[in-house]
Every structure is written in C-alpha cells, then in structure tokens.
Amino acid sequence: MRGVCERASKTQVCAESILILHLVCVGMERHGSLPKLLHTSLEDYHTQDSLVYEEVFFDFGTVEKFVQWRKQVGLLGTRLTAGNFRWKIIFITVHSKVNRRDLFAGKDESGGDVAMEVEDFMNCIFIPTLDKVVYASTLFMLTCGHLVAFEESYMAMKKAIMHLRPEYTIMFTAPDFISAVAKVFVVTYSIQVLIQGHDLLAIFQDLLNISMDLRMHADVIVFYIRGLLAPKAPFGARSRTLNVTIPPSIVGYRYSWYHTHRRPWGKALPIRCPKCGAIRPWSRSKRAQEGSHAKARAMAASECEEEVTNAKAQVSTCLGCRSEVRTEPLCDAYEIQGDKFSGWIKYTICAAEL
C-alpha cells in the first residue's frame, strides 16, 4: 500500500497517494506557481512515490499541434491512471481573452495566440485518456476572471464540468487574477484536506477566513459533484459514504467578501469617488430608502426578481460630495456568514442532478 498513516500528537495524519498535475498554456509566464507551493507543502508528509508532480505545457493552436497533443495526452493519461492516485489535484494556468471570454489554446503557425471557446478548450485539453484523470479530481482554474464574468462562458464552463466530472472545481473571479493571493488558501487546503482529511466544502469558509489577501481580490467559486465513484478504495475511517443508487448531482457556490465601507454586497466600491475624486470617501453603507432611485430600480428590473434585490439594496455616500453609489446582491439565494461589518456571502449558484 502506498502512503503512510501515523498518529501525530492529536490529529491523525494520513498521507494517501497524491498526483499534482499542472497544465500550462505555452508562452505564459506562470502566474507564480501555486502547484509547486502545494507540492512543497505536501513533501513533509510523503515518500517520493506517494506524491507525484507533473508539469505539462500545452499547445494545440493548430491542427498539427492538436494531433501531437492527442498523442502526448494519450500516453500521459494512461501512465497517470495506472498510478491509481487517491487524490488528483489539477491546475490549469491559462489566459482568457478579455473581449471574447475564450481561453488560449496555444500558438498558430506564425506564433500568434489562438483562443478557443471554453467548452471546446476543456474537451481538447482533457481529451482521452486524460479525461480519466480529471474525473473525480480537484480542478483549480488559474485564469483571469473573464471566464466567469460572462454568462456565456460561465455556462460553457459549467457544461464542461458536468461532462468531465471533476469532483471539485475552484475558480476565481478577479479580472486580473494574481495567484499569489491564493497562497495561504492552497497551503491550508493541503494540510486540512489532503493530510488531515477534512471535507473541503465543510471547511471552505475557514479556508477563506484565513486567506486575507484573497478576499479583497476575488470572489471564489466552487463546484462540487456528489456521488462519483471513488478513484480507489477509501482509506480507513476516512471513507466517503458512497451510495451508488443516488444519481450524481452538482452544487455550486460563489463566495463574496463584503465590508460595509468597501465592499457592500461583496462588490468593491471605487477607490476614488467618480464625482469629486476623493480617495476612499465612502461612508458605511446603509439600506436604501424605499421609493428612492426610481430610475435605477427600473433599470435593474430586467434580470431577476427586482423587488427582492431592491429591498436589499445598500447605499454608500461620499463624505466629500454626498454622491451616492447603490449596490445590490446577485439574484441567487444566499447565506451571510459574518457580522454586520464584514464577512462572506455564500451564494448558491447551481444545484442540479446530473
């Protein structure tokens, strides 16, 4: 049996076999390297064959390159599947195109960037036999937030997740995501989930609470697919209760950090007042007065239940010129996890059977 399990002081330390696979778009500076940090953090608990790190550059920007990629991935997937890892942590480092929300697939003949629609991209990068590796894995998308900022690409990503079935998918919404802000998140994740065996969703909030840099920078989206077949027999008492009679289902949450002076409803206020230019001038946000801003209300009417979000609108006032900024929550159902000054809003953005 691979891996070691020992009792260290009070906590049970389990080191089951782990694969870290980093897929990097060719020509990208690597946005830092969270995957390497994860690997370093885990090394203390592992022997060489129970912790495997693979970094693969991808480029399927032309038909010829795609044929090559298919060959390469076929071998890679077979080799990694034979490893029979208990945990498979996959990172994709790639840029998304600002205006078209597509993801970069590589370079064309003349070295220009080639972008692909999200669903095509996901199906190409996880072409067989790498599809077996992504199944029941934990997938971190290290890409700028344009991927999830637009309904169209967000829906395409969701479709790809439902098809490829990683157990967890984690994404960040910052337009210019800096992976350095997720360092604490990744290290704590490695210890809490991969070593101590806590359930990721159960401790997600705790991971966010200590990730101080992350909260001002990006919302965090997590998808979870319940009811997948375990990659191998669960270890000891830490078994996941699997019931094959229950069809797999997916849930998705979006966590936004709110702060009364800076991020009412988790949406960052501008650093400067757009009217008078004062820096950080905002008062503590207050609930909007009923009947005010009739125009704004009419404009917000299009998407979701206008009444509900309007009833919850917050108004922040510039202490310099008294101009106001109005903020509303997303349409999705949510829970507040924090106090009246700051904390996290947990939106349920998806819940469906597969």
Nearest to Zn ion of 282, 334 (CB atom): 282
Question: Nearest approach, Cβ of 126 to Zn ion (angstroms)?
Answer: 20
Q: Of these, 180, 228, 321, 354, which contacts Zn ion (CB under 5 A)?
A: 321
What pairs with residue 282 in β-bridges? Answer: 318
In angstroms, the Cα distances linking 85 to 51, 130, 162, 315 are 9, 14, 22, 51
Shortest distance in whole angstroms from residue 328 CB to Zn ion = 21
Q: How far is the CB of 12 from Zn ion (least distance, A)?
A: 40
- C-alpha dist (Å) from residue 295 to 291, 312, 321, 326: 10, 16, 21, 12
Q: Annotate 284-323 with b (16+ C-beta within 10 A) or e (fewer).
A: ebeebeeeebeeebeebeeeeebeebbeebbbbbbeeeee
Token output for 220: 């965090």
**Residue 95 binds Zn ion, judged by CB under 5 A:** yes
Please compute Rg for the chain using Cα positions.
22
Nearer to Zn ion by Cβ, of 18 and 144: the residue is 144
| Exposed/middle/buried for residue 150 (C-beta within 10 Å: 0-12, 13-18, 19+) | middle
> Which residue in 221, 273, 288, 330 binds Zn ion (CB under 5 A)?
273
Alpha carbons within 13 angstroms on the beta-carbon side of residue 239 total 9
- Is 318 a binding residue for Zn ion by CB under 5 A? The answer is yes
Kindly indicate which of the ranges 139-147, 232-240, 252-260, 286-294 contains the residues binding Zn ion, using the contact rule CB under 5 A. 139-147
Report in angstroms how near the CB of residue 259 gets to Zn ion at its nearest.
19
What value, to the nearest 5°, has the Cα angle with vertex 61 and ends 55 and 65? 75
Stretch that binds Zn ion, among 91-99, 180-188, 250-258, 295-303 (CB under 5 A): 91-99
Nearest to 65 by CA among 127, 149, 11: 127
320 belongs to the binding site for Zn ion (CB under 5 A): yes
User: Using an 8 Å Cβ cutoff, are 3 and 50 in contact?
Assistant: yes
Question: Site size for Zn ion, by CB under 5 A?
Answer: 10
Q: Is 197 in the site for Zn ion (CB under 5 A)?
A: no
One-character DSSP codes across 97-138: -TTT--EEEEE-TTS-EEEE-HHHHHHHHT-TTHHHHHTT-E
One residue of 89, 144, 222, 269 binding Zn ion per CB under 5 A: 144
Cis? peptide before 129, omega within 30° of 0? yes
- Cα separation of 182 and 121, whole Å? 24
Residues 323-352 within binding reach of Zn ion (CB under 5 A): 323
- Out of 70, 183, 238, 275, the residue judged to bind Zn ion by CB under 5 A: 275
Compare residues 177 and 347 and give the one whose CB is closer to Zn ion: 177
33-41, 223-231, 316-324, 326-334 -> range binding Zn ion (CB under 5 A): 316-324
Nearer to Zn ion, 196 or 317 (CB): 317
- Provide, rounded to whole angstroms, the least separation between the CB of residue 66 and Zn ion: 22
Q: How far is the CB of 168 from Zn ion (least distance, A)?
A: 22
Closest CB to Zn ion among residues 176, 307: 176
**How far is Cα 45 from Cα 320, in angstroms, rounded to an integer?**
55
Stretch that binds Zn ion, among 73-81, 144-152, 161-169, 324-332 (CB under 5 A): 144-152
Residue 101 as a binder of Zn ion (CB under 5 A): the answer is: no
> With CB under 5 A as the contact rule, which of the stretches 9-17, 41-49, 89-97, 217-225 interacts with Zn ion?
89-97
User: Among candidates 132, 127, 119, 120, which has minimal Cα distance to 158?
Assistant: 119
Q: Which of 276, 298, 308, 311 binds Zn ion (CB under 5 A)?
A: 276
- Residues lying near Zn ion in the complex (CB under 5 A) are found at 95, 144, 273, 275-276, 278, 318, 320-321, 323
